Structure 1
Amino acid sequence: MKTIALLGNPNVGKTTLFNALTGSNQYVGNWAGVTVEKKEGYLGNNIKIVDLPGIYAMDTFSNEEKVSKEFLETGDVDLIVNIVDGSKLERNLYLTSQLSEFNKPILLIVNMIDVAKSKGIDINYSKLSRELGVTIMPISASKSEGIEAVKNFIQKSDYSSLDLSINKKHSFSKMNEKETYMYIENLLKTSVEGKKTGVVSTTEKIDKLVLNKFLAYPIFLGILYLIFKFTFEWVGGPLQELLDGFVGGTFVSWVEVLLANSSDWFKSLLIDGIIGGVGSVIVFLPIILALFLGISFLEDSGYMARAAFIMDKLMRKLGLSGKAFIPLIMGFGCSVPGIMAARTLESEKDRKLTSLIVPFMSCNARLPVYGLFTAALFTANEATVIFGLYLLGISVAFIIALIFKNTLFKKDEEPFIIELPEYKLPELKSLLMHTWEKGKGFLKKAGTLIFSISVLVWFLSNFNMSGMTEIESSFLSSIGRFISPIFAPLGFASWQNSVALLTGLMAKEVVVSTLGVLYTGELVDQIAANFTMVSGLSFLVFTLLYTPCVSVIATMKKEFGGKFALFSVIYQFLVAWVVAFLVYNVAQVIL
């Protein structure tokens, strides 16, 4: 088995090449830091390809650099495939120069040759290859140009012919950074024709607008608002209503006919328990897919890296670098990968502080709750209310970060370096793949965890120590009444609502499935009957901010230990209670 290490700067198309070589469904992002740990795939039956983190140098300042250097030093690597951006050779070749110290054969892949050509850059590959002493192959990974040639080379070549050639020609290890860069500059003068002069690229034109000091933040908020309109009013919302009508109407009627001769308890289990629980969550799949589609578009287009750059100045005030904004953005999908992505941050302070505020980013699991309550109580302003919840989560996270910066985490700030990739129009196939990969996790959860919890909630709501009973005398009713005084000051003290929040610790979607089991009849109508606009808003705010699901807590424990995880559980519950209390009392005056 041959082992190939795939290495390069962030945003050079490394992961795209990895996918093309291995046929993997590895996620392809468009900002620095998407690859946190090495990932493996196979080309044929006897070649293993390891996708190492995107790095700029081998200085071991960051976790990504440490992972890459350790693997090249200790792993049984037969070939280093170093991928560089053809339009940014001067910067990318610095890492190439450092690879000579590992005494491994090197294949240099020059990617994005189409972008280089559009900028008037003409590369003499033969001359560059001779000067560097390495084999060079030009490709355009995003357009699948040159991929087959790379595959054939990797599969058929004898790597010993490449062995140490870069070392034999140059002694880069003896050069300092400034001599090295001078050498690269002189090398490119003789092997690369210069850029077009006086021509402003499309990326530069767009950046003049979206990175403008006056327009950057309004444009950023405007883009987010459009995504919410797309999700809840233009596409996702209407599709959700159609699916809800099918599940709650046509499908339930069909099941009722099918179970006409079955026992009452079995009918209740299937219709009230399973369909009422799982079905009430499944109907929000169109909304979740629509939101994922919008976020994937921002990632693949190159704008998400600009968002991190835009936020750097504000993040600095919170004691974090702009790079911390990337785990926060990932938290909008799920807090678990957001916390794991915090590994890419250079300091322990940044990793811990970021992980403590990631759960305040409203994850997709909360969307069913938002969709249900806004449909019942805020019909005319669904997108605006939900957009406001997301902004509230961000605002609370920033306030908490500011407090912690001046109390628990008083340490020096880390430098912020991020690559701003070229803008590109995302491919439809890629967008759909990313959207489906994210949506698939939601369906899996609905078919396992939510299904199990729905059955458990049905059982607890229909039985007590004496056997089957009315819901008001059930186990669940007793549990709910015991904890409901905690929520009385927040405006939603009924035992049903209390129990829903309790089961929501398993997964936030379970809040809706629990309410679907406990409230008989059309759930939207039941929410409208049991909540006012004020109490409903308070419930939404508490759901947004309170203790995340057990998966997040487990990830927090794995990353930072049990005491840290326990602290996060307690403080987030207290923050949620205080903010919901304030919202409830202020809203009573305003609304």
Structure 2
Amino acid sequence: MITTALVGNPNVGKTTLFNALTGSNQYVGNWAGVTVEKKEGFLSDSIKIVDLPGIYAMDTFSNEEKISKKFIESEDVDLIINIVDASNLSRNLYLTTQLKQFNKPILLILNMCDVADKKGLRIDYKSLEDNLKVKVLPITATKSKGIDEVKKIILSEDFNFGIDNNNYSFSSEEKAYKFIDNIISKSVDSTNKVVSKSLTNTIDKVLLNPWLAYPMFLLVLFLMFKLTFSWIGQPLTDLLADTIDGPIKTFMEGILSISSPWFSSLIIEGIIAGVGSVISFIPLIFVLFFCISFLEDSGYMSRAAFIMDRFMRKIGLSGKAFIPFIVGFGCSVPAIMSSRTLESEKDRKMTALLAPLMSCNARLPVYATFAGAFFAGNDALVIISLYLLGIIMALIVGLIFKNTLFKKDEEPFIIELPEYKIPELKSISKLTWEKGKEFIKKAGTIIFAMSIIIWFLSHFSTIGYVEDVSYGFLANIGSIIAPIFAPLGFGQWQASVALLTGIVAKESVLATMGVIYGGDLTSILPQHFSTLSSYAFMVFVLLYTPCMAVIGAMKKEYGAKFALFSVTYQFVLAWIVSFLVFNIGGFVITLF
């Protein structure tokens, strides 16, 4: 078996090349820190490609650098594929000089040659090859240019590029860059280099302006949510919900008309009402993921991290920690796992504790249903307020942690701002599907199973099957825990058991209500909640104990005690904030 190690700086197209070589479905993003740990794929039965974390150097300061250096040193690596940004050779070749110290064959891939051309850089690839004494191959990965040549070289299994035994160990970083600049001066003609303002610089003049950056950030969020909840996502969701609650339900009622009452109830009130209340939000979820994928691929997400650095510093974290927070808008599990990319133990643990406060996609159906029932016409603004509240609470809790649990020095913030680009439809569609299919998978497994369990507990008691759910086991369980939530404005047993099942999966909150209440929740919920208590309920769903998958990820990464602390503090936080929202809101309403 031939092992090749794929190494490079963040944002040079390394994972894109890995996908092209292996045909795998690895995640591709446009900001630093996407590749958390090495990934493996196969170009052929005998050639393994190992995608190592994106790094700038082999100095072993960060987890990524330690993983990469240890792998190349300890594993039997036959070929190092070093992918670099052709438009920024000075920065990228510093890692190349360090890789040469391992005395292994190196294939130097110059990616983004189209960007270099637009900048007026003319690279003499043969001269660069001779001066660096490595095999050089130009490509443009996003357009699949040069990929076949890369495959051909690797598949030949002939890596006699020559191993340069000259000493590339420099006494200082300054001397290393002096060596690199000398090579670039011989191999790159920059006389035609474009010195006028690039499109990226022009856009950043607005998006990163000290006065405009934050309003623009909020505007981007607002447009994303309007697309999701007003213009595209919500209308499609309403159409699917009407189809499930109308023709599909009517059709199944006709088929089951001759079956026993309990079986008909299981299918109609259990599975269709429970699973249907969740899967009707598939269009909404996909539109939101499409928007997020667009922002990732365009290069804006790293700007968001840069913009938030100022606020993150207030809680003792760098802007880089905002990246797991952004990931957390999709799912808290990868957000916790991506906290590994942070340099210090303090940053990793603190980020893992705060990331679940970001509103994941599983909570979205709950918000959409309640906002549609109580805040029609303003539902997008209400949902934006919840997302922003999650960020604000993370900052407040982080500030408390900074001065209590994590009293350590702050880490420096280094993040690369990639060139803006127009995302390719194929790329963002693939990203959207990879994220969205997990929602579908969960609806078909966990939510399906939970709907059956919830129906059984609702419609059975010690005397057997009961039509009235208020006499079932679930009502008894809910009645016991309901007093805990009474001060928050939703002390009904139905809301209590919905929150309880939400610990299994947040989508279960809505699925449980679908089974218990039945029918159209938009019209039924106002009979059980007031406008104020509905918002307090959404706040509680936003902040309370994460689902079992998140708890498991927390335990795996940082231990059982750490996971238990996360579960406890989030429940207490959710209770306090919801209590304040309901009671202060009620006091304000009485004044007006």
Say whether the fold is shared (TM-score over 0.5): yes
Q: Which residue identity is paired with 2:478?
A: G
Q: 1:116-265 alignment to 2 at 5 Å?
A: 116-159=116-159, 161-165=160-164, 167=165, 170-194=166-190, 196-265=193-262
Shift of 1:15: 0.6
Correspondence 1:375 to 2:387: no
- Name which of 549, 552, 559 aligns with 2:550: 552
Match of 1:535 in 2: 533
Distance (Å, rounded) in 1 between the aligned partners of 2:291 and 2:10: 23
Match of 1:511 in 2: 509
Distance (Å, rounded) in 1 between the aligned partners of 2:5 and 2:343: 23
Shift of 1:157: 4.3
Distance (Å, rounded) in 2 between the aligned partners of 1:266 and 1:198: 73
Shift of 1:24: 1.1
Q: Which residue identity is paired with 1:199?
A: S
Aligned-partner SS, 2:257: coil
- Name which of 440, 443, 463 aligns with 2:460: 463
Match of 1:52 in 2: 52
CA deviations 1:81-112 (Å, max 9, x no partner) are 00000010011000000012212110100010
**Any conservation in 1 of the 2:273–2:519 contact (CA below 8 Å)?**
no
Q: Which residue identity is paired with 1:321?
A: S
**Any conservation in 1 of the 2:101–2:167 contact (CA below 8 Å)?**
no
Aligned-partner SS, 2:284: helix
Correspondence 1:573 to 2:568: no
Aligned-partner SS, 1:55: coil
Shift of 1:467: 1.1
CA deviations 1:507-536 (Å, max 9, x no partner) are 110000000010033221111221110110
Shift of 1:410: 0.4
Between stretches 172-181 and 227-236, larger displacement belongs to: 172-181
Q: 1:259-298 alignment to 2 at 5 Å?
A: 259-298=256-295
Q: 1:423-442 alignment to 2 at 5 Å?
A: 423-442=420-439
Q: Which residue identity is paired with 2:498?
A: A
Match of 2:391 in 1: 394
CA deviations 1:486-525 (Å, max 9, x no partner) are 0000011110110000000001100000000100332211
Aligned-partner SS, 2:330: coil
**Any conservation in 1 of the 2:170–2:176 contact (CA below 8 Å)?**
no
Distance (Å, rounded) in 2 between the aligned partners of 1:76 and 1:383: 54
Q: 1:43-82 alignment to 2 at 5 Å?
A: 43-82=43-82
CA deviations 1:237-263 (Å, max 9, x no partner) are 000000000001010001111112111
Distance (Å, rounded) in 1 between the aligned partners of 2:400 and 2:469: 44
**Any conservation in 2 of the 1:57–1:98 contact (CA below 8 Å)?**
yes
Q: Which residue identity is paired with 1:472?
A: S
Shift of 1:207: 1.1
Distance (Å, rounded) in 1 between the aligned partners of 2:100 and 2:388: 48
**For structure 2, which runs of at least 5 residues remain unmatched after alignment?**
none
**Any conservation in 1 of the 2:106–2:135 contact (CA below 8 Å)?**
yes
User: TM-score under structure 1 normalisation?
Assistant: 0.98
- Name which of 385, 403, 408 aligns with 2:405: 408
CA deviations 1:201-248 (Å, max 9, x no partner) are 111111111111111111011101110000000000000000000001
Distance (Å, rounded) in 1 between the aligned partners of 2:222 and 2:544: 24
Q: Which residue identity is paired with 1:549?
A: C
User: TM-score under structure 2 normalisation?
Assistant: 0.98
RMSD of equivalent CA atoms:
0.9
**Any conservation in 2 of the 1:12–1:84 contact (CA below 8 Å)?**
yes
**Any conservation in 1 of the 2:35–2:52 contact (CA below 8 Å)?**
yes
Distance (Å, rounded) in 1 between the aligned partners of 2:551 and 2:202: 44
Distance (Å, rounded) in 2 between the aligned partners of 1:205 and 1:473: 65
Aligned-partner SS, 1:137: strand
Q: Which residue identity is paired with 1:104?
A: K
**Any conservation in 2 of the 1:124–1:192 contact (CA below 8 Å)?**
yes
**Any conservation in 1 of the 2:245–2:519 contact (CA below 8 Å)?**
no
Aligned-partner SS, 1:493: coil
**For structure 1, which runs of at least 5 residues remain unmatched after alignment?**
none
What percent identity do the matched residue pairs reach? 62
Q: Which residue identity is paired with 1:206?
A: I
- Name which of 442, 447, 469 aligns with 1:445: 442
Distance (Å, rounded) in 1 between the aligned partners of 2:510 and 2:470: 19
Distance (Å, rounded) in 1 between the aligned partners of 2:149 and 2:194: 33
**Any conservation in 2 of the 1:336–1:555 contact (CA below 8 Å)?**
yes
Aligned-partner SS, 1:59: coil
Distance (Å, rounded) in 1 between the aligned partners of 2:463 and 2:87: 75
Match of 1:34 in 2: 34
Q: 1:465-480 alignment to 2 at 5 Å?
A: 465-469=462-466, 470-480=468-478
Q: Which residue identity is paired with 1:522?
A: D
Match of 1:496 in 2: 494
Shift of 1:394: 0.6
Aligned-partner SS, 2:108: strand
**Any conservation in 1 of the 2:3–2:78 contact (CA below 8 Å)?**
yes
The count of aligned residue pairs is 587
Distance (Å, rounded) in 2 between the aligned partners of 1:528 and 1:246: 22
Q: Which residue identity is paired with 1:107?
A: L
**Any conservation in 2 of the 1:100–1:173 contact (CA below 8 Å)?**
no
Shift of 1:175: 4.1
Match of 1:351 in 2: 348
Q: Which residue identity is paired with 2:354?
A: I
**Any conservation in 1 of the 2:83–2:109 contact (CA below 8 Å)?**
yes
CA deviations 1:19-59 (Å, max 9, x no partner) are 11111111100001000000011112211100000000000
Distance (Å, rounded) in 2 between the aligned partners of 1:174 and 1:210: 39
Q: Which residue identity is paired with 2:580?
A: L
